[in-house]
């Protein structure tokens, strides 16, 4: 049997965001980047990632409503509807 190749990696979606900062903050940002041998984009991404991880409990997770016509084929926890198809 021939060997199968590796699966193609899934593309990552990126989104552009614009940010306006004052000249003084821009100067501080550039000095920070030079001192830590990093780029502005990496600083922004790291700061955003840390902020979101710290505040994930504040984000409201929306549970979508399931219509009455939806089948419960894979609901094994609900014993009443098991094998009824409704």
Provide the whole-model pTM. 0.57
**Percentage of the chain exceeding pLDDT 90:** 47
Average pLDDT over residues 74-80: 64
pLDDT at 85: 53
pLDDT digits (tens, 9 = 90+) for 33-42: 999 999 999 9
Cβ 86 vs Cβ 72: under 8 Å = yes
For the chain, give me the number of helices (H) and strands (E)?
2, 0
pLDDT at 80: 58
């Amino acid at each position: 049997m021939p060997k199968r190749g590796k699966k193609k990696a899934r593309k990552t979606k990126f989104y552009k965001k614009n940010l306006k900062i004052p000249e003084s903050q821009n100067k501080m940002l550039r000095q920070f980047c030079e001192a830590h041998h990093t780029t502005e984009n990496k600083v922004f991404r790291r700061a955003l990632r840390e902020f979101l991880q710290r505040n994930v409990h504040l984000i409201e997770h929306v549970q979508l409503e399931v219509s009455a016509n939806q089948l419960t084929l894979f609901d094994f926890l609900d014993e009443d509807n098991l094998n009824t198809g409704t």
